[in-house]
Amino acid sequence: MDLKGMHILVTGASQGIGAAIASQLMAGGARVAVHYNSNRARAEALLAANNTSASVALGANLEDPGAVEGLFRQSLDALGHLDALVLNAGIFTPHPVSEPLDSWWRTWRQIQAVNLDAPGLLTRLAIEHFRQRAGGRLVYIGSRAAFRGETADNLGYAASKGGLTSLARSVARSYGKEGIKAFTIAPGFTHTAMAEQAIAEMGQALLEETALKELTRPEHIAPLVAFICSGQLDHATGTVIDINAGSYMH
């Protein structure tokens, strides 16, 4: 996929799905702002592994709106402009209703801050920037949970991903004639550090609900993101693309 000349910000890109996406984009020739929360060394190792000095690692705590805006501004400073944003960063923190209310609510708010509020603010900033450049693309990494729901211990996660999907569709409908396209990719359980504990606990039961012989891996998702960023899927703006090993179809 030829992405030469493209400048792209990927959130949550130091590991997992985000790292696979950033690597795929850099392999295609894009300059990438690789966002990380706290693991700077891992983000810089990703840049080194891709043998690029044209991309940059940028740290930001997405729970902090000021840091979110700062990440966007730093991306522009480092790359000059942005052609696409990949809104991948997210957290999956169980918070059963058996917890004390204040603890449950604290986790709920943290999930919304990272999974929905930060993408919302970045979307607002991106729309302003893309309008000045006659267009751009937003790729939201959602979840099948937005459609089939999640377990009782993960109400906040499902709610955040439902909001993310609605946000993407609203952007696509509202700004398409200005050249701004938006897409949602909805994975199921994927082999990442965030999901490994749940995968280990649920074991064979997860495989039994899939149509394929294995769970999704980050490298199964990354090529689609590159394809979207290339512009060759623009007429699918507003759509949700499921990548979940056939575990949920709609």
Token couple for 75:
């991306």
Kindly name the residue from 36, 140, 157, 175 that is annotated as catalytic. 157
Secondary structure, 3-state, 74-126? HHHHHHCCCCEEEECCCCCCCCCCCCCHHHHHHHHHHHHHHHHHHHHHHHHHH
Kindly name the residue from 140, 161, 175, 181 that is annotated as catalytic. 161
- Residue 4 bears catalytic tag: no
| CA–CA separation, 45 and 51 (whole Å) | 10
- Residue 213 bears catalytic tag: no
N-term to C-term CA, the chain = 29
Contacts 24+ apart (CB under 8 A), 193-198: 193/15, 193/16, 194/16, 194/90, 194/91, 194/92, 195/92, 198/92
Short-list 28, 107, 111, 119, CA closest to 72 = 119
Active site residues: 157, 161
